[in-house]
Chains A and B, each alone.
Chain A
Amino acid sequence: MTAALVLIAVLTLATAAVALALRNLIHSALLLIASWFGLAAFYLWAGAEFVAFAQVLVYVGAVSMVVLFAVLLTRRSRADPVVSPDSLSRAVSAVLTGVAVFGVLAAAILGTRLSPSTVAAPTATVRTIGTQLMGTHAAALLIVGMLLTVALLGAVVLAAQDPAETNQDAP
């Protein structure tokens, strides 16, 4: 069981790392999707069937499409999706953002008191998951929904900023 976990972890992290290192955006996106598959495999390993399939359905089925669509629509030349590294300040700000997100996540993980693993795995049916999501965690669900909507609108605003440039690409 541990060997499987190690294998899944290595594959997930390796695909994510290579995705970061590659300069070809399409290859990066596809490797990122492979990394999401790794996460789903981890959920399966942990016995969370529902979450694993939901992960594949949402990330591999929908989010990947949005990512690829964004890459294809925002490249100036459609045939050449290779990007060169941008200015130094941008790289620094990107690293800073990444470190900040990592810090928040790490603090949240370390701050959570994990119950000992001797507790039997709960057998959650779809009905219980549904009532939990719609009852106890309704506020969190709504906040996440709001956040995603705001992010989507922000992405539209960012992508539609330069009308002169997009006109060149139009037929």
Chain B
Amino acid sequence: MTSADAFLERLPLVARDLVTSWLPEPWRWLVNSLISIAVILSVFGLLFAYVTLAERKILGRIQNRPGPNRTPIPFINLRFFGLAQPFADGIKALTKEDLVPRGADHRLHFLAPVVLLAFSILTFAVLPYGRHLVPVELNAGVLYFFAAGAATELAVFMAGWASRNKYSLLAAMRALAQLISYELPLLLAWVPVVLVAGSLSTTEIVAAQAGWKFNLIPHWHVFTPWGAAGFLIFMVAALAESNRSPFDLPEAESELIAGHLTEYSGFKYALFFMAEYFGMIALSGMAITLFLGGWHAPSPYLEFIPSYVWFGAKLVVLLLGFIWIRATFPRLRMDQLTRFAWKFLVPLALINLANAAFWSLSFPWAGPLQLLRWLISALVVVGPFVLLGRKLSVGVAPRVYRYAT
């Protein structure tokens, strides 16, 4: 029995067929799609709830405090490290008053969170969660993902402008500048993957990363020089695109009192919060699909674990990385933010594109030429990184403290 049709691997399909097999043929695909939608919403809804809890707990531990730990589970009154906290938060958000400023643009003010959440949920449609688990197979799946993600910036702007509040408007301007700047490296970072895999379909990109070298090193894109560089650029740009620290200038609690969220309360605020985490989860899922081998196991001896478990494990690791970064880095200044994008990330991403072109042209090289191929490709990654970094930090870093000793 191969791993492709192991029982655990097919378990989601079997469970779905149990529900839909008694339906007449024309109804089956409709119910199948409805089931996929319901599963995606509930799984990622729960993941969102517990990522917020994990974030608060981990930030708490890093800052030497316990984090939320007092919310008991109803009726049995057990605390369990505050595991019921997300549900308490949800009830609180639902029952709060929904305030809309008198001067606000009411329709846009209402539409902004709705648009944001709708588009961030759309991105989940094309991610391959497992060997047999792709909700929608599109020929241009990667393009669809980033097209749906692009509309979220619009919603942030709508929220900031419709609130008629100076902090919100300032945040909207900052968000526009930031999102325009980081859209480019984000898009340029995944183009090499499309170039080498030769397809825009997420399923085929995952299939291109199957197999192991010497049964040891997986053929994931991140284990090639251009792939490693692309992955790092992608993750930095993804941090900025999901408005996460250290790129959380549009929110910036200490200067803009939460920016575009200032005039939102109750459930609309919760929707924004949810959409932001959905965006982060979806971008992590895309990073896994493009660079970390999708649902493939890291070793042939671990293939008995079903593919969707591997996808979930990689997702959790990336999300914990996001939380760790938030706890560690201070916020950038606006000029640092844009300079970093335009002068550093964009040139590196363009060079990386040429590097991937070289990699795919030198595909037939064999024997000792393979070593040369790796060496050239690694040099093309490291050389510009060091040179650009040195050149950009002239006069800026290292920082000299004149008055403090």
A residues touching B (Cβ–Cβ < 8 Å)? 26-27, 30, 33, 40, 49-50, 53-54, 56-57, 60-62, 64-66, 68-69, 72, 78-79, 125-127
B180 at the interface (CB under 8 A from A): yes
Given contacts A26-B161, A49-B138, A69-B176, contact A61 B147 (CB under 8 A): yes
A-side interface mostly: helix
B50 at the interface (CB under 8 A from A): no
Complex: A60 Cα to B149 Cα, angstroms: 10
Structural contact, B147 and A126, CB atoms closer than 8 A: no
Complex: A64 Cα to B140 Cα, angstroms: 22
- The A-B contact count (CB < 8 A) is 74
- List CB contacts (< 8 Å) of B224-277 with chain A: none
Complex: A30 Cα to B139 Cα, angstroms: 29
Structural contact, B169 and A56, CB atoms closer than 8 A: no
Question: What are 27 A-B pairs with beta-carbon distances under 8 A?
Answer: A26-B161, A27-B108, A30-B108, A49-B144, A50-B200, A53-B140, A53-B143, A54-B147, A56-B151, A57-B143, A57-B147, A57-B187, A61-B146, A61-B183, A62-B150, A62-B183, A65-B153, A65-B180, A66-B180, A68-B157, A69-B173, A72-B176, A78-B169, A79-B164, A125-B199, A126-B140, A126-B198
Chain A residue numbers with a CB within 8 Å of B194 are 126
> Number of B residues contacting the other chain (C-beta, 8 Å)?
31
Structural contact, A61 and B157, CB atoms closer than 8 A: no
B287 at the interface (CB under 8 A from A): no
Given contacts A49-B139, A68-B157, A125-B199, contact A62 B176 (CB under 8 A): no
Chain A residue numbers with a CB within 8 Å of B158 are 30
Complex: A60 Cα to B169 Cα, angstroms: 20
Structural contact, B154 and A50, CB atoms closer than 8 A: no
Chain A residue numbers with a CB within 8 Å of B144 are 49, 53
Chain A residue numbers with a CB within 8 Å of B153 are 61, 65
Complex: A60 Cα to B133 Cα, angstroms: 29
Chain B residue numbers with a CB within 8 Å of A30 are 108, 154, 158
Given contacts A49-B138, A50-B140, A53-B144, contact A61 B200 (CB under 8 A): no
CB-based nearest A residue for B177: A69
The 6 A-B residue pairs whose C-beta atoms are closest, nearest first, are A61-B150, A56-B147, A53-B143, A57-B147, A53-B147, A50-B140
Complex: A79 Cα to B167 Cα, angstroms: 12
- List CB contacts (< 8 Å) of B130-148 with chain A: 138-140, 143-144, 146-148
Chain B residue numbers with a CB within 8 Å of A60 are 147, 150-151, 154
14 more A-B contacts (CB under 8 A) besides A66-B180, A126-B199?
A30-B108, A49-B140, A56-B150, A57-B146, A60-B147, A60-B151, A61-B150, A61-B151, A65-B157, A65-B179, A68-B176, A69-B176, A72-B169, A72-B176
